[in-house]
Amino acid sequence: MASWIQRHGSSHQSQLATTAVLSGAAVAGAILGYQALRRKEAVRRLKDSIPDINEQHHAEKLTDYGVAAASQLSKEDERSAALARRAQEGDYDDELILEQLARNRVFLSDAGLAKLRSSYIIVVGCGGVGSHAVASLARSGVSKIRLIDFDQVTLSSLNRHALATLADVGTPKVHCIRKRLEQITPWIKFDCRNELFGGSVADKLLAPWSLDGSDKGRKPDYVLDCIDNITSKVELLHYCHSHSIPVISAMGAGCKSDPTRVTVGDISLSTDDPLSRSTRRRLKMLGVNTGIPVVFSTEKPGPGKVTLLPLAEEEFSKGQVGELSVLPDFRARILPVLGTMPAVFGYTLANHVICDIAGYPMDYSVGGKGRDKLYDGVLAALQGTHERLARAEFGPNLTGLRLSISKEDVGYLIDEIWRGKSAVSGLPSRIGLVPWERPERGFGPDPEWMKQGQVYVPVALKDLVCMTKEEATRHEKEVLLGGKKVEEVYDEKTIECVKKRRQEVEFQEQYR
């Protein structure tokens, strides 16, 4: 081995190769050393450019997400903040507040507005949906609002955020909202939490009101879920459901464009929304199937409509797609959002909360939103019921029976009058319409129309009641064919409910 090294070490080619390697290493070392010196010099210049901390240049501690806890106030903002502090301490005439809330006052009544003004609301998520919801709650009279969001305003936020301006870019969303709304409703007390919501901090973030005052220790009257991260959303909804905290959740506003398709319903009904579908599936695994109101859209995807933008190939080459998010479990791709739709969702959330707290009646309808198949089935079943009842009186040869009711009438009764639920049990599944009582003239065709060869049965909308198919079968057997009175079959609560809804039909008929 020693002879081999000596023989090759003395060769001319080996000497050249060794020289090349050594010179290359020297050059590389010189380059790296030069770059290190340049970086060191650049860092020194950068540090030298930072002014000393003094009254003119103050420093603030960054949050866990690398942003300032609060933004620098302008002179105008400072004046507004000072006014807000005085107003929150009581130095704001109550008559002025009532004058500002005058339109809400006459709508909700003094009692309803008083409930709203004394309420304590938590809004989780202060982006496009949440900012519009908060703005509406504040303008309507809510006086204690806790804002929870970890994020800061970006340039792309400005197409849908209710209150952010260019001056707010880079500042926490919670402080942006507080700062702007204090210039509109200075008496409101805001509790800003620049934090990411999660199950581990739910007890702290959803805790009773903690600021000084007579309401200290008050539990939240409502929680608004405006989160677009599925994990945090499920943890929030499960916590509120298990702790009996009233909550309403916004489903996906992204990729939606039809404001007429936005509605409110139980989470079990929101079948056309992908975010809701994922939320329902995860909540079901936690034992929650129903009981959470949600704002969702029944709009379906179609040709020419946007979808979630694909991830570029070069992004996949950077590693696991899940690792490309800003935070764990956050989406890596951009969700297309039409700037108007988050506002529609936010105002719908706020509207529900305002009416519910004030005690204003709310009767939501999902009529016309993909329910044609249901209406066709109900109309066919009603036709069959009348045919059986008519043949029981006029014999089996009666054919060609026609009803004076349309599919639009069925939709109106099912959704607008009976709210999609049985008058007997309140169940929303397998429902239909059935005559409430046996008419004096019986169930036969109209004699005058019979003379013209038309087997026509007049049906008054107020005489039809919503029941499940099983309840309708029993009702037909005992009341319509058996001759029993409704008072013999149903309790007072059911009879009173039917009476009120029939009166409602009579009232509504003059406007249809």
Give the pLDDT score at 367: 46
Give the pLDDT score at 59: 55
Q: Which residues on neighbouring strands pair with residue 468, listed in sequence order?
A: 431
Distance of CA 126 to the CA centre of its chain: 12
Question: Cα torsion at 133, 138, 141, 147 (round to 10°)?
Answer: 80
Burial class (CB in 10 A: 0-12, 13-18, 19+), 292: buried
Q: Can you tell me the distance from the alpha carbon of 479 to that of 483, in angstroms, rounded to the nearest whole number?
A: 5
265, pLDDT greater than 80: yes
Q: Per-residue pLDDT averaged across 291-298, rounded?
A: 90
361, pLDDT greater than 80: yes
Contacts of 145 (CB under 8 A, 6+ apart): 120, 121, 122, 123, 134, 137, 138, 188, 189, 190, 191
Q: Per-residue pLDDT averaged across 386-394, rounded?
A: 80
Q: Per-residue pLDDT averaged across 66-77, rounded?
A: 61
Tokens coding 2: 């020693």
Pairing of strands 402-403, 262-266: unpaired
Question: In terms of Cα–Cα distance, which of 402, 395, 382 is closest to 450?
Answer: 402
233, pLDDT greater than 90: yes
pLDDT grade for 355, boundaries at 50, 70 and 90: very high
75-305+337-358: in CATH 3.20.20.70: no
Are 406 and 412 contacting, i.e. CB atoms less than 8 angstroms apart? no
Give the pLDDT score at 65: 45
Give the type of residue at 99. E
Give the pLDDT score at 378: 92
Host H or E run for residue 382: helix 372-394
402, pLDDT greater than 70: yes
77, pLDDT greater than 90: no
Give the type of residue at 167. A
Are 77 and 179 contacting, i.e. CB atoms less than 8 angstroms apart? yes
Q: Which residues on neighbouring strands pair with residue 493, listed in sequence order?
A: none
pTM, two decimal places: 0.63
Residue 223 DSSP code: E
340, pLDDT greater than 90: yes
Highest mean pLDDT range out of 39-43, 96-100, 119-123, 255-259? 119-123
Which residue is associated with the tokens 């210039």? Answer: 183
Q: Per-residue pLDDT averaged across 346-369, rounded?
A: 84
Residue 463 DSSP code: G
Host H or E run for residue 146: strand 144-148
Q: Which of 67-81, 86-100, 158-172, 494-508 has the lowest mean pLDDT?
A: 67-81
Give the pLDDT score at 290: 86
Q: Which residue did the predictor score with more confidence, 107 or 265?
A: 107
Mean pLDDT over each residue of the chain, to the nearest integer: 82
Q: Per-residue pLDDT averaged across 392-398, rounded?
A: 71
Per residue in 129-158, pLDDT tens? 999 999 999 999 999 999 999 999 999 899
- CA dist 222 → 76, 217, 465 (Å): 33, 15, 34
Give the pLDDT score at 381: 92
Host H or E run for residue 252: none
Give the pLDDT score at 292: 92
Question: In terms of Cα–Cα distance, which of 178, 154, 151 is closest to 77?
Answer: 178
Within 10 A of 10 (CB to CB), how many other CB atoms are there? 9
Per residue in 414-442, pLDDT tens? 888 898 889 999 988 889 999 999 887 77
Q: Per-residue pLDDT averaged across 284-308, rounded?
A: 83
Contacts of 98 (CB under 8 A, 6+ apart): 105
Q: Per-residue pLDDT averaged across 473-501, rounded?
A: 93
468: helix, strand or coil:
strand
Residues of the chain with CATH 3.40.50.720: 75-305+337-358
Q: Can you tell me the distance from the alpha carbon of 248 to that of 237, in angstroms, rounded to the nearest whole number?
A: 8
- Percent of the chain exceeding pLDDT 90 equals 43
Q: Which residues on neighbouring strands pair with residue 264, listed in sequence order?
A: 295
Which residue is associated with the tokens 């036969």? Answer: 444
pLDDT grade for 84, boundaries at 50, 70 and 90: confident
Tokens coding 284: 């079901």
34, pLDDT greater than 60: yes
Q: Which of 310-324, 465-479, 491-505 has the lowest mean pLDDT?
A: 310-324
- State the sign of the Cα–Cα–Cα–Cα dihedral 53, 55, 56, 62: positive
Residue 158 DSSP code: G
pLDDT grade for 316, boundaries at 50, 70 and 90: very low
Per residue in 150-199, pLDDT tens? 999 999 899 999 999 998 999 999 999 999 999 889 989 999 999 999 99
- Report residue 140: phi and psi, to 5°: -95, -10
Give the pLDDT score at 332: 47
Give the pLDDT score at 411: 85
